[in-house]
Amino acid sequence: MLLYVLRRLLTAIPTLFVIVTLAFFLIRVAPGGPFNQERGLLPEIKANLEAQFGLNDPLWLQYLNYLKNLLQGNFGPSYNLPDFTVGELFANGLPISIQLGASALALALVIGSVLGIIAALNQNRVADYAVIATATAGSTIPTFVVAPVIQLLFGLTWSLLPIGGWNDGAFLNRIGPTITLALPQIAIVARLMRGSMIESLRSHHIRTARALGLSEWSVVVRHALRGALLPIVSYAGPAAAALLTGSIIVETIFAVPGVGRYFVDAALNRDYTLVMGTVVVIAIFTILFNLIVDILYAVVDPRVRYD
């Protein structure tokens, strides 16, 4: 297992290099630049700014300089937020996005799994149809519809929750954005769990367990659930990377100071370093969680070995 983890980490290095290279050149293909404004700057001022940040150097030299700084853990300065570096922006916003995403992911895995198990145990009954209908609605209604509804009902109408803000992570401020983020994931996890649980319950070893007289609780929890978890584990990896790096829509609507809003603002303003920093962080999270998923595979399913 240790050798497998080391091989995967070594494989992640060229993968990350390719992602950084593609992102670096693709962002510069788009028209405009970080110092192109609607009214425009004086040519002398624009030239001075580009010289200060090295944007008048040849593109290959800019690329090499960025790689050199990146290897030292330096994401560079933000072009449109000159009072902050990209690292400082992430240091302030990433912990908030991680807290919000982790809460939404945990809620989705627990509630979605329970609903999926209930639907599987009551296949083609009222409970099954209710879970499927709820999951379908949850996966089709977009978050930019759910978020204002939560604000309107629980914030303005019933005055139970604040309509926005983070307030240093206060419990009431977390509820709205967490539920909004979790609802689509709950729907997906419920459908995955239902399908995998139905398949697991029909397997030969489950029939054998029931023939031996084991209780229904033991059959479902100790035997069927373990095999049914594999699709959930597979989905949890990329879902965790997406949720923990922030949701643009949710953070914007609920005024959460996470990193999700930085990506859109940086892309619109051609803030090259902030875009690149966001891409690198998302890529690292994705690679890391995919590795964790592969390791969990061996824990959940004894038949999986990486020797």
Domain annotation covers residue 285: no
Is residue 90 one of the residues assigned to a domain?
no
Give the pLDDT confidence score for residue 168 in this predicted structure. 87
Please tell me the number of Cα atoms within 13 Å of 197 on its side-chain side.
25
Q: Rg of the Cα trace of the chain? A: 24
Q: How far apart are the C-alpha atoms of 106 and 51, rounded to whole Å?
A: 47
Q: Does the residue 299 lie in any domain?
A: no
Instruction: Please choose, from the candidates 226, 204, 31, 198, the residue with its C-alpha nearest in 3D space to the C-alpha of residue 117.
Output: 198
Same domain, yes or no, for 109 and 41? no
Query: What is the pLDDT, as a whole number, of residue 10?
Result: 82
pLDDT for position 57 = 84
Q: Are residues 23 and 155 in the same domain?
A: no
Give the structural domain span for 45: 2-63
Q: 289, 89, 113, 300: which is closest to 189 by C-alpha?
A: 113
How many structural domains compose the chain?
2
Q: What was the pLDDT predicted at 39?
A: 54
Same domain, 106 and 254: yes
Q: Are residues 143 and 220 in the same domain?
A: yes
Is the domain of 206 the same as that of 153?
A: yes
User: Is the residue at 112 inside a domain?
Assistant: yes
10-residue mean pLDDT profile of the chain (307 residues): values are: 75 89 87 67 75 84 92 88 86 90 92 94 92 86 90 92 89 93 92 92 85 84 84 85 78 87 78 89 87 77 61
DSSP string, 174-209: HHHHHHHHHHHHHHHHHHHHHHHHHHHHTSHHHHHH
Q: Would you state the pLDDT for residue 252?
A: 85
Final residue belonging to a domain, choices 16, 39, 63: 63
Q: Are residues 115 and 34 in the same domain?
A: no
pLDDT at position 147 is 92
* Residue 240 in domain: yes
Q: Are 225 and 121 in contact (CB under 8 A)?
A: no
Give the model's pLDDT for residue 304. 61
Q: Is 25 among the domain residues?
A: yes
In a domain, 172, yes or no: yes
Last residue of a domain, one of 218, 240, 258: 258
pLDDT at 269: 80
